[in-house]
Amino acid sequence: MTKDTRSAWSWIPTLYFAEGLPYVIVMTVSVIMYKRLGISNTDIALYTSWLYLPWVIKPLWSPIVDMLKTKRWWIVIMQLFIGVGLAGVAFTIPMSSFFQFTLAFFWLLAFSSATHDIAADGFYMLALDEHKQAYFVGIRSTFYRLAMITGQGLLIILAGSIETYTGMKPVEFSVTSVPESHAIVELPSMEKTKALGSEFVVAEQELKVAYEGYVQENVDDLKKEVKQLNVENGFVALEIKEEKSPSWWKRTISDPLKDFLKETFNKDKNENLATTKKGNIGIVGIKLGAQSSGDEVVLNISQKSGDKSIKLLTGERLTFTPDNFNKTAYVVVQLDPKLKKSNKATFIGRSGNIPLAWSITFMILVAMFAVFVVYHRFILPRPTSDVAASQNNSNLFGEFWETFVSFFKKERIGVMLGFLLVYRLGESQLVKLAAPFLLDDKAVGGLGLTTGEVGIIYGTIGLLFLTIGGILGGWVASRNGLKYWLWWMTFAINLPNAVYVYLSYAAPDSFAVIATSVAIEQFGYGFGFTAYMLYMIYISEGKSKTAHFAICTGFMALGMMIPGMISGWLQEIIGYEHFFIWVMLCTIPAFILVGFLKVDPKFGIKKKEA
């Protein structure tokens, strides 16, 4: 490895920000964009779910990245391909067949991004010594998470802002939860509501919805009526859901077994669940004052600010045409049933040029990746070990197979793979049910928090402590090495899960107690995950470290996916209290296998220079 005087700070933050950005664009931003463009939920769920496939199967072509060209070359070229994919999305959004074309370019994005992940992780191991790999493992994770926040937050805000400035004046209304009892919820009347010119008006700009004196009598009927009216008047397209008959396994084995166990172990809670109430609703009427042209106007409504416990239930996308612009469209908002205080949320409706807004947003992303390509072309170091593994292009298939097989020929490979699969066995199940546990009513074993409170706990407090734990883990590992901290980090990622056992049995009302418990668990996860990342780097060392690390990440995904798939089913059967005890039992295999791991005591420690 060459001694490069270039600081790792000059390229690690940008490299891992560039790694995380296309992932969140494909997995999250695409869903929101298609929703804004009027694609049905059925099609969005079906087609965007397949976009995750390249990350699942990326170990299958990781040897190619090892055999051909340098990792540095792959990084720059894949960032160029990502830019091309983003440009393709930007230019095809305005087309009539945009869904098919943009999906094709999202596939290009997905495969380019997955390949970029392989090359970037391999380059990280080649360009840094063991000490710096340990030190920067928390930093790279932090900037990857910043890319997630950018995609899920800033990009959506950017598209919304552009949309605001390309259409009519936005319409706003606020919803306040109040203790006063309302005897009945009614459709608002807009007979006396008039608008000046071509603009949107609402029946009631400050809507009050009761959270006490709850009356359920006509709420469900009204929700159905609102949906039917919006469909009949052409504001909302009717979405036809295809009903599938249950499989033989589900019909004869899975469901009967599930019902039997639920009835046996959680009879009381199942009865409580049946009587758990839903949050009260409010209905907002919106009307377009006049239509100056024959074109349709699409109004997209979203929450602008305020408490997330007040959510938009139906009417997020309303289409006004020459046939219905003088009719009333309805929007339904709903309170979180656990909300027991006065809170306020503001909603905004934008009617701008949605395809243009998203095209501009993606063109800005194209410019960002153009900068990444140029910047990394010159800034990335050139380690002498970053060379193509293949020396004989005529035997590529043989070398490909040998690279893949050589991973499974490693000494003690069974223990290695077992560790990768079970290190997060408890966490893989906990992560799926933690938020539902916080949200569920106390009558069914949850803590009864509102959506807004859970957002604060996980989106702010939890994220902060997760990041601190990750950075601290990388720092201490670089000082004393992986072997020294391996047991400590195994305890850190597993034992804090016990806070959920406490929360499920104690069911505290204190927000501070709950937030502190989640902060402890998230800090432990961030700190303990460092050992997992470093161990994958450690066992990937060798001739084909890039391909071998990609295979490790495949087993990492498998270790999270399979337990997570059955966690919800299991929790419904045994209840939260028993489920979190089960999670703690699932941490035992990790402690057993750690005792069988062999790690060089010097791995991760800074070597003394001669």
Enumerate the H helices of 174-328 as residue ranges: 219-232, 248-249, 255-265, 267-275
pLDDT of 362 reads: 95
Indicate yes or no: pTM above 0.85.
no
pLDDT bin (cut points 50, 70, 90) of residue 367 is: very high
Is the distance from CB of 43 to CB of 99 less than 8 angstroms?
A: yes
pLDDT bin (cut points 50, 70, 90) of residue 217 is: low
Q: Which residue has the tokens 């009903």?
A: 243
Q: Which residue has the higher pLDDT, 276 or 606?
A: 606
pLDDT bin (cut points 50, 70, 90) of residue 191 is: low
> Is the pLDDT at 200 greater than 80, yes or no?
yes
pLDDT of 440 reads: 79
The domain spans of the chain are: 1-166+353-394, 169-351, 410-610
Round to whole Å and give the CA distance between 22 and 427. Answer: 26
pLDDT of 274 reads: 42
> How many beta carbons lie within 10 A of that of residue 367, not counting itself?
13
Angle between helices 545-585 and 498-506 (to 10 degrees): 30
pLDDT of 459 reads: 73
Round to whole Å and give the CA distance between 275 and 96. Answer: 47
pLDDT of 116 reads: 93
pLDDT of 239 reads: 65
Q: Which residue has the tokens 């019909």?
A: 251
pLDDT of 208 reads: 86
Strand partners for 210: 178
Is the distance from CB of 277 to CB of 301 less than 8 angstroms?
A: no
Helix (H, G, I), strand (E, B) or coil at 47: helix
User: What percentage of residues in the chain have a pLDDT greater than 70?
Assistant: 86
> Is the pLDDT at 482 greater than 90, yes or no?
no
pLDDT of 262 reads: 66
> Is the pLDDT at 177 greater than 70, yes or no?
yes
pLDDT of 246 reads: 67
> How many beta carbons lie within 10 A of that of residue 65, not counting itself?
29
> Is the pLDDT at 399 greater than 50, yes or no?
yes
Torsion angle in degrees (nearest 10) through CA of 409, 414, 417, 421 = 160
CA 509 vs CA 318, 342, 447: distances in Å? 40, 18, 8
If you average pLDDT over each of 129-138, 402-411, 491-500, which comes out highest?
491-500
User: Phi and psi for 255 in degrees, rounded to 5?
Assistant: -65, -45
Helix (H, G, I), strand (E, B) or coil at 602: coil
Is the distance from CB of 62 to CB of 118 less than 8 angstroms?
A: yes
> Is the pLDDT at 201 greater than 80, yes or no?
yes
pLDDT of 265 reads: 61
> Which long-range CB contacts under 8 A does 568-575 form with residues at least 24 apart?
568/432, 568/433, 568/436, 569/258, 570/429, 571/433, 572/258, 572/262, 573/258, 573/261, 573/262, 573/265, 573/266, 574/261, 574/265, 574/266, 575/265, 575/266, 575/269, 575/445
Task: Tell me the pLDDT tens digit for each residue of 28-38.
Answer: 888 888 888 88
> With b meaning 16 or more CB within 10 Å and e meaning fewer, what string describes 447-476?
bbbbbbbbebbbeebbbebbbbbbbbbbbb
> Quick one: average pLDDT of 277-285?
81
pLDDT of 312 reads: 86
Q: Which residue has the tokens 């800034």?
A: 379
Identity of the amino acid at 228: Q
pLDDT of 5 reads: 62
pLDDT of 523 reads: 94
Round to whole Å and give the CA distance between 390 and 87. Answer: 33
Task: Tell me the pLDDT tens digit for each residue of 560-594.
Answer: 878 887 888 788 788 888 899 999 999 999 999 99
pLDDT bin (cut points 50, 70, 90) of residue 417 is: very high
Tokens of 242: 């295809």
Is the distance from CB of 485 to CB of 532 less than 8 angstroms?
A: no
Q: Which residue has the higher pLDDT, 97 or 217?
A: 97
Q: Is the fold of 1-166+353-394 the same as that of 410-610?
A: yes
Round to whole Å and give the CA distance between 128 and 537. Answer: 11
Task: Tell me the pLDDT tens digit for each residue of 148-171.
Answer: 888 877 888 888 888 877 778 888
Give the CATH fold of the 410-610 domain: Growth Hormone; Chain: A; (1.20.1250)
Strand partners for 178: 210
> Quick one: average pLDDT of 480-485?
89
> Of 23, 16, 4, 1, whose CA–CA distance to 136 is shortest?
16
Helix (H, G, I), strand (E, B) or coil at 210: strand
pLDDT of 50 reads: 83
User: What percentage of residues in the chain have a pLDDT greater than 90?
Assistant: 26
* 285 Cβ contact list (under 8 Å, min separation 6): 187, 188, 189, 190, 193, 202, 203, 204, 328, 329, 330, 331
Task: Tell me the pLDDT tens digit for each residue of 218-273.
Answer: 667 777 888 888 888 888 877 665 556 666 666 676 677 677 666 666 555 544 44
CA angle 19–20–21, rounded 5-degree value:
100
Round to whole Å and give the CA distance between 276 and 439. Answer: 13
Of the listed ranges 92-106, 116-130, 272-286, 358-372, the least confidently predicted one is 272-286
Task: Tell me the pLDDT tens digit for each residue of 298-311.
Answer: 888 888 888 888 88
pLDDT of 591 reads: 94
> Of 533, 424, 526, 522, whose CA–CA distance to 469 is shortest?
526
Q: Which residue has the higher pLDDT, 112 or 244?
A: 112
pLDDT of 275 reads: 47
> Is the pLDDT at 103 greater than 50, yes or no?
yes
pLDDT of 65 reads: 84
pLDDT bin (cut points 50, 70, 90) of residue 289 is: confident
Q: Which CATH class is domain 1-166+353-394?
A: mainly alpha
If you average pLDDT over each of 11-15, 264-268, 326-330, 555-559, which comes out highest?
11-15
Is the distance from CB of 296 to CB of 313 less than 8 angstroms?
A: no
Is the distance from CB of 333 to CB of 285 less than 8 angstroms?
A: no
pLDDT of 271 reads: 47
Tokens of 360: 């501009």
Residue 435, CA atoms < 13 Å, CB-side half-sphere: 12
Parallel/antiparallel/unpaired status of strands 171-178 and 310-314: unpaired
pLDDT of 266 reads: 59
CA angle 580–586–588, rounded 5-degree value:
125
Task: Tell me the pLDDT tens digit for each residue of 56-83.
Answer: 888 888 888 878 888 999 999 999 999 9
Parallel/antiparallel/unpaired status of strands 171-178 and 206-210: parallel
Task: Tell me the pLDDT tens digit for each residue of 537-546.
Answer: 888 887 778 8
Round to whole Å and give the CA distance between 332 and 346. Answer: 14
Is the distance from CB of 379 to CB of 6 less than 8 angstroms?
A: yes
pLDDT of 15 reads: 95
> Is the pLDDT at 91 greater than 90, yes or no?
yes
* 549 Cβ contact list (under 8 Å, min separation 6): 62, 118, 121, 122, 125, 536, 537, 540
